[in-house]
């Protein structure tokens, strides 16, 4: 049983230095490559083990199981997990609610210390965590390393942000009063993360919740429960008390829906598809018997992200940026470039250079660090292949167009580029979430901006141009939550690029930014009369009563 950290204990580690992003690993360095290979060997030896569900201090097994498999080798089982059902909702919420009564009263220094300790453990185990992502979701080494680096960033950043938030002051101090603004925790959170950033997003939402004093029922994705289990073990090692986070893999339609609907669930933090996000929003909006609050939803959903290539762009930089953003991690990022919108003056030469660049991308087993690995599962593969067939009818196939069978028996798909796509075509409007890029011809920059804004989403976007006027126009009129100039539209960095989108891309939560922890708290204003304020105090009170 984990024990609560004590503020008086000398091992309490509160971050005091300014936040710095965790450096990425250079795998061109022979020693780093050796460490990664050793980590892959270590993790391979641990594949196939069974993990318990953890509710409070109880380890639970269920009759039904969830099997996580390696998408590069579907016959290889990464781990076996318990499957939480509707019957586990009540005990999970009860355990989190019980822990909340103590956790909400812990000092912010204690909670920040927990995250700081987590960051230290993750640094020591970076290669191991990256190896788990290689096996479980098919990330290559660099993508997996970036994921664990972002996880460390979230731990360090949110620890410091919680300390900063605890020092908040009211804009005005009235004469004769001591006025304070206190950000207090909300309560029990349902945290429902995706599989595509299986460590960073899962851990980021969880740590934001607990560092602000909330408790969590975590329901990881069916496709990445092993990484969530390993992170849960790190929380325990760091000293997290029982029940502060409860590890509950399970069905979205039964356990997940039950969590969202439960009257003691105070808020839901979700990252995933538009369809599931909207369903959560609708379920959370309906009050249940005994519910005392309006549930809060923190929703990060899909994208249909565009890179505009203006006629004055640096073509080499634009081609490289589009290729990396479209095909990094097999296009399985909500921020991925799925549409290149190119000025007609440079359209043909851009296509020619892009075709040559994409042809250099090799597909294969990510344990061998191939640039592109598999998509996450068979269902995703079939859906992506169906979209490719639609795209072949809507436009002109430039590269790819099917399975990469030479890569093996996994869920491998060729990087696919389809040109001459109409702006309102299906593959221009619908989220594919795979290695498929639609290239659209624009008459001019004005037309390109109109096309970029013509979807229901508004997550990321980029513009390649050497014109300051065009960039400033895009700054105002390109309607996305994260906009980049002369660089790719993926790769948001904690602290520098607070992340979250507009429209059907979610509630613009801005993870990794200075506003994020506010979503996990509620502000309590406390005013105390001090000294002898006399008639002035009474006058001010009367004015307050009249206006509020």
Query: Tens digits of per-residue pLDDT, 293-308?
Result: 999 999 999 999 999 9
Query: Tens digits of per-residue pLDDT, 211-264?
Result: 999 999 999 999 999 999 999 999 999 999 999 999 999 999 999 999 999 999
Q: What is the distance between the alpha carbons of residues 139 and 378, in angstroms, rounded to a whole number?
A: 16
Q: What is the distance between the alpha carbons of residues 154 and 516, in angstroms, rounded to a whole number?
A: 11
The SS3 call for residue 50 is strand
Q: What is the distance between the alpha carbons of residues 475 and 114, in angstroms, rounded to a whole number?
A: 39
Catalytic option among 334, 394, 431, 489: 334
Helix segments in 104-194, DSSP class H: 108-124, 126-137, 141-165
User: Quick check: is 337 catalytic?
Assistant: no
* pTM, two decimal places: 0.95
User: Quick check: is 334 catalytic?
Assistant: yes
Q: CATH assignment of 38-301+506-524, given 3.40.50.300, 3.40.605.10, 3.40.50.1980, 1.20.1280.260?
A: 3.40.605.10
User: Could you state, in order of their start, the residue ranges of all structural domains in the chain?
Assistant: 38-301+506-524, 305-494
Superfamily holding 305-494: Aldehyde Dehydrogenase; Chain A, domain 2 (3.40.309.10)
Query: Tens digits of per-residue pLDDT, 436-473?
Result: 999 999 999 999 999 999 999 999 999 999 999 999 99
Burial, 132: exposed, middle or buried (Cβ in 10 Å; 0-12, 13-18, 19+)?
buried
Catalytic option among 22, 300, 394, 431: 300
Residue 18 is given by DSSP the state P
User: Nearest 5°: CA angle at 321, between 130 and 127?
Assistant: 10
pLDDT category at 398 given cuts 50, 70, 90 is very high
Return the bridge partners of 309, or none. Answer: 342, 464
Q: What is the distance between the alpha carbons of residues 99 and 135, in angstroms, rounded to a whole number?
A: 34
């Amino acid at each position: 049983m984990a024990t609560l950290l004590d503020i008086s204990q000398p091992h309490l580690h509160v971050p005091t230095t300014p936040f710095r992003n965790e450096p990425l690993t250079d795998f061109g360095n022979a020693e780093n490559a050796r460490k990664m290979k050793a980590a892959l060997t270590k993790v391979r030896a641990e594949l196939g083990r069974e993990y318990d569900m953890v509710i409070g201090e109880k380890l639970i097994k269920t009759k039904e199981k969830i099997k996580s498999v390696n998408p590069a080798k579907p016959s290889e089982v990464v781990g076996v997990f318990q499957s939480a059902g509707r019957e586990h909702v009540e005990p999970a919420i009860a355990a989190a609610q019980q822990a909340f009564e103590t956790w909400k009263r812990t000092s912010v220094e204690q909670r920040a210390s927990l995250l700081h300790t987590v960051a230290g453990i993750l640094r020591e185990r970076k290669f191991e965590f990256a190896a788990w992502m290689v096996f479980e979701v098919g990330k290559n080494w660099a993508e997996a390393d970036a994921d664990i680096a972002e996880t460390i960033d979230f731990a360090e950043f949110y620890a410091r942000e919680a300390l900063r938030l605890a020092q908040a002051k009211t804009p005005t101090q009235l004469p004769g009063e001591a006025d304070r603004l206190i950000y207090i925790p909300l309560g029990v959170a349902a945290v429902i993360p995706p599989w595509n950033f299986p460590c960073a997003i899962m851990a980021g939402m969880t740590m934001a919740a607990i560092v602000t004093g909330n408790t969590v029922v975590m329901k990881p994705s069916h496709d990445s429960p092993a990484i969530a289990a390993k992170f849960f073990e790190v929380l325990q090692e760091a000293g997290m008390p029982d029940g502060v986070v409860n590890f509950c893999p399970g069905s979205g339609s039964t356990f997940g829906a039950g969590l969202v609907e439960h009257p003691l669930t105070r808020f839901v933090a979700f990252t995933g598809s538009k369809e599931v996000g909207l369903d959560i929003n609708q379920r959370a909006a309906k009050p249940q018997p005994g519910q005392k609050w309006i549930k809060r939803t923190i929703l990060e959903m899909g994208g249909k992200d565009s890179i505009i290539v203006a006629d004055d762009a640096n073509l080499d930089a634009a081609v490289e940026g589009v290729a990396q953003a479209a095909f990094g991690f097999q296009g399985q990022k909500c921020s991925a470039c799925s549409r290149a919108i190119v000025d007609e003056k440079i359209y043909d030469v851009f296509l020619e250079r892009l075709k040559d660049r994409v042809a250099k991308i090799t597909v294969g087993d990510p344990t061998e660090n191939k640039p592109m690995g598999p998509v996450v599962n068979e269902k995703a593969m079939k859906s992506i292949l169906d979209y490719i067939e639609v795209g072949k009818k809507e436009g002109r196939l430039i590269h790819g167009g099917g399975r990469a069978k030479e890569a093996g028996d996994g869920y491998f798909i060729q990087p696919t580029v389809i040109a001459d796509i109409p702006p309102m075509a299906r593959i221009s409007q619908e989220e594919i979430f795979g290695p498929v890029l639609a290239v659209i011809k624009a008459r001019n920059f004005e037309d390109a901006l109109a096309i970029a804004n013509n979807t229901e989403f508004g997550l990321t976007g980029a513009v390649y141009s050497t014109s300051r006027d065009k960039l400033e126009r895009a700054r105002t009129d390109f309607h996305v939550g994260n906009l980049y100039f002369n660089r790719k539209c993926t790769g948001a960095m904690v602290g520098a690029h607070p992340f979250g989108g507009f429209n059907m891309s979610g509630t613009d939560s801005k993870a990794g930014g200075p506003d994020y922890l506010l979503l996990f708290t509620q502000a309590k204003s406390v005013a105390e009369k001090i000294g002898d304020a006399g008639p002035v105090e009474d006058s001010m009170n009367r004015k307050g009563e009249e206006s509020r």
